[in-house]
Amino acid sequence: MVSFVATPIGNLGDISIRALETLRGADVIFCEDTRHSLKLLNYYEIKKPLAACHKFNERAAAEKLLALAQGGKNVAVITDAGTPVISDPGNLLAESLRRAGVAYTLIPGACAFVAALVLSGFAADKFAFLGFLRGKNTQKREFLRKYAAFDGTIVLYSAPQDVDADVKMLYEAFKDRRACAVREITKVHESVEYFSLEAGLPGEKRGEYVLLVEGASEQENPLNALTEKEHIAHYVAQGMSAKEALKAAAKDRGVSKSELYKFTISGDEGEK
């Protein structure tokens, strides 16, 4: 049997009895970083053979895992913190097992974005988890615009070196909204800080962040979820001249006409 096992995201006491039993009963444990995982395993006096499984070797690790599982071995999969697969290695492992018809299960536990959602106090009945923003800046902007009209809470992860740029990008996509930054979850210096996207998150950035943004209000214009070219084209399709469409789109987005002018003449969508 293969078990994906959630591990603590900070406080080592946040692990279930079932998770410990699974790790103790495993023939081998696949770890994101074996050195990091040893801290947890040594704390609970668990000594097992370890195999590395990270983003650079996940395909090879999947083949090894599949062979062990088909050979009748009990295998546990953990990451550095939290639930495997969720913005962590494990997706390719689960896919390989599913395709091969090999049974696997999850031993649930800590997950950073779920904890942050609770700590923020933002609406949790409807939310979208976006993981880390990836790709070039243009790709990130286009991705975020898809959620501009979403009325639930937006949740994403951000590394300390990316926080300021990510917040700026969120502002460009959603305009000014109330936001929250959660870090050091379950640790001594756990913090929950509220700010506006326009003002940005103040202070020195340390540690991994979970950023949360309140959803769109009923008053927000869903057209702002379109790309600049699509927004202008929408008004042209309504019978406006190019000049009128440019003016209307600029008003919707709260920017000057000059900022959108390039989208009417060149097809250039800016930074690649």
Q: What one-character DSSP code corresponds to residue 81?
A: S
Same domain, 239 and 145: no
Average pLDDT of the residues in 237-260: 82
Q: Which of 87, 110, 133 is the last residue of a domain?
A: 110
Tens digit of pLDDT for each residue in 31-78? 999 999 999 999 999 999 999 999 899 999 999 999 999 999 999 999
Q: Is residue 10 part of a domain?
A: yes
Same domain, 12 and 81: yes
Q: Is residue 53 part of a domain?
A: yes
Higher per-residue confidence, 265 vs 149? 149
Q: Which of 61, 92, 110 is the last residue of a domain?
A: 110
Same domain, 6 and 99: yes
Q: Is residue 92 part of a domain?
A: yes
CB atoms within 10 A of CB 63: 12
Q: What is the pTM of this model?
A: 0.79
Same domain, 105 and 12: yes
Gap between the Cα atoms of 244 and 117, Å rounded: 42
Q: Write the CB contacts of 171 (distance below 8 Å, at least 6 apart in sequence).
A: 197, 198, 200
Q: Is residue 183 part of a domain?
A: yes
Q: Is residue 221 part of a domain?
A: no
Residue 229 contacts residue 245 (beta carbons within 8 Å) = no
- Is residue 222 scored above 50 in pLDDT? yes
Query: Which pLDDT score is estimated for 269?
Result: 42
CATH of the domain at 204: 3.30.950.10
What is the tally of structural domains in the chain? Answer: 3
Tens digit of pLDDT for each residue in 124-176? 999 999 999 999 998 998 899 889 888 899 999 999 999 999 999 999 989 89
Same domain, 117 and 178: yes
Same domain, 206 and 235: no
Q: Which of 62, 80, 110 is the last residue of a domain?
A: 110
| Domain, as residue range, for 151 | 113-213
